[in-house]
């Protein structure tokens, strides 16, 4: 029984970490640019496929580093050519735009890499379980946890201590004032968008090693990441982090006793939070109106 709980808990934490990586990217873009990025899951898939195609030339580690960066650059291009043109328009347009992009990218993945799943091979060193009793604690999973922790810490350090990061946070809070200070909002949003998309790319590389690659692999992660943002509190990046972990662990623990309940508990959590504490766990009151 203990093993079962630990097994599920580990799965939950892993899943929660994917939610966190996804949700942080979505949240960054939502907070600064007021855009809900429907295509986020497709950028994730693209990240995995990029790594798959780069690995033969660069090796796993090379691909691991380069793929997320390329995805970030792609995000930058998409932002500069399309997304930035709808910032000033009603929200419906940015939603439709990312929705359309999600279709296009998904179809691209399907056409280039095929509808069937592909494996993203990981180095043997990461592949073996640490012990026989805890067979689910593979080296890869520990690696995955470590990478996510480092990435999240780096993100928060970037936002907290660098000049650009501080400006992004300030822009989230009050864009007009930041603009009035003579800061280039367009550039800030572009960098921020690329950063968010890059996180999706990283999540894709990691997910590829865990669950394999397929054109829809991001779909199951996008909507939970929205829920993580709502639960954590819209407008708060720390809230998103907490929200992602909470729903990940809650789903996993539920599935110990009720395997189909893992999604249900996520939704129940969201509704309970909305009724009891409308701004979410960490959200600011002002952000909701």
Partner 1 sequence: MSTTTAPQTAVAAAPGQRWLHLVAIWAFLIAAPLWMGHIGGYDALYSRILIFGLAAMGLNLLLGFTGMMSFGHAAYFGLGAYGAGFVLRYWIHSTPLAILCGILLGTVFGVIFGALMMRRTGIYFAMLTIAFSQICYYFAYSWNSVTGGYDGLRGFTRAPLHFGSYVIDIRDNGLVFYYFVLAIFFVCTALMGALLRSPLGRTMIALRENPQRARFLGIPNEQHVWIAFAISTLFTSVAGALYALLNNFADPTALYYVISGNIVIMAVLGGMLNFWGPLLGAAVFVWLEDYISSQTVNWMSFIGVIFVVVVLFFPRGLLGFVKRRSA
Interacting residues toward partner 1 by CB under 8 A: 30, 34-36, 38, 82, 85-86, 89-93, 95-97, 99-104, 106-108, 110-111, 223, 226-227, 229-230, 234, 260, 263-264, 267, 270-271, 274-275, 278, 287-289
Look up residue 288 and give its two tokens: 């909701």
Look up residue 241 and give its two tokens: 């982090």
Residue 263 CB, nearest approach to partner 1 (Å): 5
Residue 184 CB, nearest approach to partner 1 (Å): 23
Residue 289 CB, nearest approach to partner 1 (Å): 6
> Which residue, 34 or 166, has its beta carbon nearer to partner 1?
34
> Which residue, 97 or 200, has its beta carbon nearer to partner 1?
97
Residue 273 CB, nearest approach to partner 1 (Å): 10
> Which residue, 108 or 147, has its beta carbon nearer to partner 1?
108
> Which residue, 91 or 127, has its beta carbon nearer to partner 1?
91
For residues 202 and 65, the answer to whether their CB atoms sit within 8 Å is no
Residue 136 CB, nearest approach to partner 1 (Å): 24
* Angle in degrees, CA 90, 94, 99, rounded to 5: 140
> Which residue, 85 or 142, has its beta carbon nearer to partner 1?
85
> Which residue, 90 or 182, has its beta carbon nearer to partner 1?
90
Residue 92 CB, nearest approach to partner 1 (Å): 5
């Amino acid at each position: 029984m203990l093993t079962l709980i630990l097994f599920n808990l580990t799965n939950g934490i892993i899943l929660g970490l994917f939610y966190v990586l996804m949700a942080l990217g979505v949240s960054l873009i939502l907070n600064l640019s007021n855009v809900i990025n429907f295509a986020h899951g497709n950028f994730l898939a693209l990240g995995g496929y990029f790594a798959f195609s780069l690995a033969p030339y660069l090796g796993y580690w090379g691909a691991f580093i380069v793929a997320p960066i390329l995805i970030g650059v792609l995000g930058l291009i998409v932002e500069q050519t399309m997304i930035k043109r709808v910032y000033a328009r009603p929200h419906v347009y940015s939603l439709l735009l990312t929705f359309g992009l999600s279709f296009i990218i998904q179809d691209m993945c399907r056409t280039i890499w095929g509808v069937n799943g592909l494996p993203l091979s990981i180095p043997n060193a990461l592949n073996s379980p640490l012990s026989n009793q805890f067979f689910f604690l593979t080296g890869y999973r520990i690696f995955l946890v470590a990478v996510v922790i480092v990435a999240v810490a780096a993100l928060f350090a970037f936002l907290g201590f660098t000049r650009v990061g501080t400006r992004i946070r300030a822009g989230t809070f009050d864009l007009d004032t930041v603009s009035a200070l003579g800061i280039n909002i367009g550039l800030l949003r572009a960098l921020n968008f690329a950063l968010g998309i890059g996180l999706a790319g990283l999540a894709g590389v990691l997910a590829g090693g865990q669950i394999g690659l397929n054109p829809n692999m991001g779909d199951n992660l996008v909507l939970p990441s929205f829920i993580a943002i709502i639960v954590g509190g819209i407008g708060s990046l720390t809230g998103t982090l907490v929200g992602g972990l909470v729903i990940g662990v809650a789903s996993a623990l539920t599935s110990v006793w009720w395997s189909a309940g893992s999604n249900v508990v996520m939704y129940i959590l969201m509704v309970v939070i909305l009724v009891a504490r409308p701004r979410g766990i960490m959200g600011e009151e002002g952000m909701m109106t």
